[in-house]
Each structure stands twice: as structure tokens, then as C-alpha cells.
A and B are shown apart, each in its own frame.
Chain A
Amino acid sequence: MTAPRSRGVIPRLANAVGRLLGYADRIGEALIVLLFATIVLVGGLQVICRYGFNASLSWSEELQRYGLIWMVFLALVAGYRRGAHIGMSLLLEKLPRAVQVPVGWVVDLLWLGLGLAMVIYTAGYRSAAGMTFLHSVSRQSSAGMGVRMDLVYSCIVVGGTYLTLAALHNLLGRVVGGPPRMSPEEPPC
């Protein structure tokens, strides 16, 4: 969505956030596709090694698990950008616009809160011991691949930042010109 050209701080900010989000979308989507393709291939390799060569891989299960988690925290935002997350729109559609618009604001504000919480409580907030969560796990490494755990957990920060950006974009868009348009997708179950 491109914000209408006009002067003022908020429209200009909306434009900047929109452009930034455009890059984030492209990088995010590429990463999602790459991660998904990787875990499927590794899953296939694991099956082949176990049944073809009777040799279990020590790292493949862990790589699939962490790959999936990274994918989930990125695709959470990709789903938000597409309006794919399931909710009960039946009642809301029956209500007047005077209710629908504030609910739209609330939803975007809650998304923003979740995004900020994901970033702050993982990488910003210091516990009584004076360490952030990421810092506290940085000396652990994973059992299978020996990866530093703070790298694994940083998906929450990356996803949270992306989510914050997307929510901010929607909120600024609401200020500048009406609620954002999204294409609803099928619910999953």
C-alpha cells in the first residue's frame, strides 16, 4: 500500500516505514521459502540415511526443528501481512462501521504490543542477574549441531522486529487514510 503523497510528518513516516517493510517482506519471504525447502530436503536426507544406509544423522532432527521455528516466527508476520490469521469475523461483519474501525485499531495495536514484547523480553529486558534472555543462553550450544543457542533464539527478535514494523505500517496507514486492505485466505482447519 502506498500512502498518498502529502506533506507532514506522519505521511512521510508512513512512507518510510512502508518502504522499509517492502524490503523486509522480500527478505522475509525469501527466507521462509529457503528455510522450508531446507527442512524438507534435510528431512528427506534423514529418511534416506536411516532406511537406505542404516545410519542415523545426529544433526538432522535438530536442524528441522530449529528451521521450522525460524520459519514460524517469520511466516507469522507474512500471514499477518496477508490477513491469513483465523478469527471470527461473523459477528464483526454484522456490527456497524463505528465498531469495526476501533476493533481494527485494537487488533493492530495488539499486534504491535506482541511484536515489541517479543523483541524487548528476549533481547532488551534484563533479569535480576543483569542479563538479557539472549545473553543468558549465549554460552549454551545445541545438542546436535553445536550451534550457539542465542543464534537459535534470535528468531524471536527478528520476527518481533518484522512484526513491529508491519504493525506500525498498518497503524500509520490507518492514520493517513483508512484501514489497510488485505486479501483473506482460507482458514486451515
Chain B
Amino acid sequence: MLITLLVVLLALIFLGVPVVVAIGSVALGGILALPELAPVEFPRKMFAAVDSFSLLALPYFILAGELMVRGGMSRRLVEFAETLVGHLRGGLGHATVLANMIFANVTGSSAAATSAIGSLMAPEMKARGYKGGFIASLAATSGVIGAIIPPSMVMVVYGAMAGVSIGGLFLGGILPGLLITGLLMLTVHLHGYHPNFPEVRATSGRFRLRHVLQTLPRVWVAVLAPVIILGGIMAGIFTATEAGVVACFYALIVSMFVYRSVQLRDLPRILLTSAITTTVVLGIIAVAGALGWLLTYLNFTEIVGGWLLGVSSRGWVVLLILLAMMMVLTMFIESLAVLIILTPLIVKIGATFALDPIYLGILMVMVTQIGATTPPVAVCLFVGTSIAGCRYDETIRRCWPFIAALMLALLAVLVWPPLATWIPHTFLK
């Protein structure tokens, strides 16, 4: 039964059936096929899965991000980043990474960051002769920073499902996010030494402090956002959900009264778009609630967990296998779906080896994000490719150095847990 369910699930997903439909149908079919299970549990578990105060952080941060993007913040950020690093070799590449790092403070999604920043940088990079595959890979991998530096949708989802402090995960993402930023900038820099990338050696103008100071007033609101959001969580004032509400009002005030680019009559459309983006995730969580209940009934976690724990009694070996498993699965299957279905297994393994829940959570978020940028099935690379206007195989050829940089960051967090845990353990007691 268990194997049949999983095979059907994978087959449906591979055939291009939307993830929410695939999971929902398998859950419903499985519950109906077992006469001892009450079919009423299907809608009941769907409801219960989304009935969570923690998950409310998701719509709030999505709405705040949408308001910021509509408000024209991404354009201003790109200009600001260019004045900071444009004079370096491969300046436009560095500016893309840097703009993403700042933008990550208002967005929680790597695909949204890839499209928001990438679509602004791509035309300019193209004009300077950057290769399409390089642009797509850079836009996608630096978009990942958007889901690592708080706020982060994946962290909200994982935290709510695994029962881990979302505020703690947010704070844990700061150093890994900065590390990825540094490693990606290093990757851009190293491209400059390669004979095939003469365009990355070019610089644009000189560094002028005056320009930085001129553009700073236009982006101060983006720089101030993390002070409010993270400061509130660090000081123990807000929960992540409340920080999300505050971020909404902050974004609303900024886009309506500071940038004046969003008007009252635009709000219904923005609310509707954000609601649908929210539901694309929460819909999967709802049906995964029903599937998860069915899988628990069929002892899925015990079986796979028992197999994993049987491989070795050492925590790090099992953790490595788990990470490798997640990595391979997310390369082929939509990464959020993998994370949602495997969360009980991850929690069980974490409990068995007494792993720090924030450390484990950050690793899982990072590995699913790397999966979302690793071919063949890589949401961020798809977005990047369409922005760069190149062919997908060009992107696949150029993406590996960037993915190596992300892997290096994952490895660093894996072997040195304080990267993920130091900030949350210092500030959250």
C-alpha cells in the first residue's frame, strides 16, 4: 500500500500534475482504499494542517514583499548596489548578488527574488556582453539568498510543521545568508580570471562616495526593514507572525507615502495576488496534512526512519545520508513538496541524535533551496533562464560553479553549527 501510494504520487508529479492535486488525490485515494479509515478525515486533516498561528507569517511576509516590489524597491536597490560595487571587476555580477542580499530582507522566496532582481540586472548584463547562461545561473543562485536571509517562506513552513521557533530559524539564517553572498561574489570574481569570460573583467566607472550617498536615501527603507523585523524578534518583542504584520504596515506606508507608487485602488489586486501566492504553498500544506496523516497510519516515518537509523549509529552519517537524500529528491521533485512530506522524518532523526532543531532546520532549508537551483528540475533556474532569454542547456552548462558555491556554504554550516545557531542562541533565550 505504502509503495503503491508513493509510486502513484511520483508518477503524477512527473507527469506535470500540479503538486497540490497529486498529493491531494493520493491522500484521498489512500484514505478511501482503506475501509478502516473514516473519509471524513480527509477534509478534517486538510483544515487542521492550515489551522496554525505560525503559518500566518506566510501571507503577511508575502504581502509585505509584494507591496515592496510594486512600490519599486527592487529598482532602487539595484541602482544602489551598482554604486557600491559597480567599479569592481565583474561589477554588474557583484551588484546582482549584493542587491539580492539587501532584497532578501523584504522577500522570503528565492524565485521571487530571482525574478525581481534578475529581471532588472539581466538587460544590463546582456548589453555588456555577459553570457546568457551565466546571467541565468547568477540570478537564480543569488536569488537563493532571498530564502535564507529572513524573512523566509520555507523557514515559516518548516518551523510551523516541525514545531521549531520560526524566529529562531530566521535569526539562524543570517550568517549562512551572508556566507552565500560572499561565496557567490567570490565565484563571480574567479570567473574574471577565466579566458572565456573577458566581459567579467570589465568594470563600470569609478567608485564615488557621492553617488552612494545620493542613492542611499532612496533605499534606506529597505535597509531599515530588517532593523524592525529582526530587531523585534531578537529583542523578544515580536513573534515571527507579528513581525510579518508589522512588515505589512511598514511596506504599505513606504510604498504609498514614501515612494508614492502604490495607490489605494491598487490594493485589491495586490491582496489577491498575494493571497494566491500564499495559497499555492498553503494548499500543498493542507493536502499534505491529509497525506501525512495517512503515511503516519501506514508507519512511513518508522519504516524509512528505521532503515536510515539502521545504516549507522553515528549521527553525522545518518545526517549526511538524509541531506544527500533530500538533495537528490529536490533535484527532481518540487523542493517544497519534498520538505513538507519529509518533515516528520527529519524531526524524528533530529530527536534520535539530539541535534539542535535550529541547526537541523537551517540545513534542511539550505538543502531544499540548493535543490531548487540544481538541474534538471530547478524552479529558480527556470525563472533565471526565462529572464536571461537563453536556452536551458546554456544555463545548465554555466550553473555548476555557482551551485558549488552554494554547496560550500552548506558544507560550512554542516561542519560548523555555530554559523546557524550562534545568533539565535545568543538572542533568543
Contact = CB atoms under 8 A, between A and B. Distances in A.
A, B bound = yes
Interface of A: 29, 32-33, 35-37, 39-40, 43-44, 46-47, 50-51, 61, 64-66, 68-69, 71-72, 75-76, 78-79, 82, 84-93, 103, 106-107, 110-111, 113-114, 117-118, 121-122, 125, 127, 133, 153, 155-156, 160, 185-189
A115 to B, nearest CB: 10
Interface stretch (B215-223, B279-287, B401-409): B279-287
Q: Taking chain B's interface residues, is the majority helix, strand, or loop, or is none over half, making it mixed?
A: helix
B300 interface: no
Interface in B40-67: 40, 42-44, 46-47, 50-53, 55-56, 59-60, 62-63
B47 A153 contact: yes
A34 B182 CA distance: 43
B181 to A, nearest CB: 19
A186 B56 CA distance: 21
A90 B271 contact: no
Interface of B: 13-22, 24-25, 28, 38-40, 42-44, 46-47, 50-53, 55-56, 59-60, 62-63, 109-112, 115, 147, 153-154, 237-238, 241-242, 244-246, 248-249, 267-268, 271-272, 274-283, 286-287, 333-336, 372, 376-377, 379, 382-383
Given A43-B56, A46-B242, A187 B280 contact: yes
B115 A79 contact: no
Contacts of A46: 242, 245
A177 to B, nearest CB: 22
B39 A125 contact: yes
Contacts of B286: 72, 76
B283 A78 contact: no
Nearest to B13: A88
B15 to A, nearest CB: 5
A98 to B, nearest CB: 14
B50 A69 contact: yes
A79 B13 contact: no
A162 B59 CA distance: 22
Contact of B280 (A32, A86, A117, A133): A86
A57 to B, nearest CB: 12
A188 B25 contact: no
Contact of A33 (B110, B237, B271, B372): B271
A29 B276 CA distance: 10
Contacts of B334: 86-88
Given A39-B56, A125-B40, A84 B276 contact: yes
A85 to B, nearest CB: 4
A39 B60 CA distance: 9
B47 A156 contact: yes
Contact of B18 (A32, A71, A87): A87
A189 B154 contact: yes
Contact of B275 (A32, A61, A111, A156): A32
A33 B28 contact: no
A72 B272 contact: no
B55 to A, nearest CB: 7
A68 B47 CA distance: 11
A4 B280 CA distance: 31
B16 A91 contact: yes
Contacts of A65: 51-53, 56
Contact of A107 (B21, B38, B51, B379): B21
Contacts of A111: 21
B111 A189 contact: yes
Contacts of A29: 272
Given A122-B43, A189-B109, A79 B147 contact: no
Contacts of B109: 188-189
Contacts of B25: 110, 113-114
Nearest to A117: B28
Given A36-B272, A125-B40, A187-B379, 16 more contacts: A32-B271, A36-B275, A37-B271, A43-B245, A43-B248, A46-B242, A51-B237, A61-B53, A75-B279, A86-B19, A87-B19, A106-B17, A110-B17, A186-B111, A186-B115, A189-B336
A91 B12 CA distance: 12
A160 B24 CA distance: 13
B153 A189 contact: yes
B142 to A, nearest CB: 15
Contacts of B52: 65
A122 B46 CA distance: 11
A103 B12 CA distance: 9
A91 B246 contact: no
A182 B154 CA distance: 27
Contacts of B283: 72, 76, 79, 85
Nearest to A155: B47
Given A36-B59, A68-B55, A118-B43, A110 B21 contact: yes
A66 B154 CA distance: 22
A185 B47 CA distance: 25
A33 B272 contact: yes
A36 B274 contact: yes
Contacts of A66: 51
A153 B46 CA distance: 11
B278 A187 contact: no
A161 to B, nearest CB: 13
Contact of A188 (B39, B237, B277): B277
A103 B16 contact: yes
B16 A92 contact: yes
A33 B271 CA distance: 6
A68 B56 CA distance: 7
A153 B40 CA distance: 12
A47 B242 contact: yes
Nearest to A75: B279
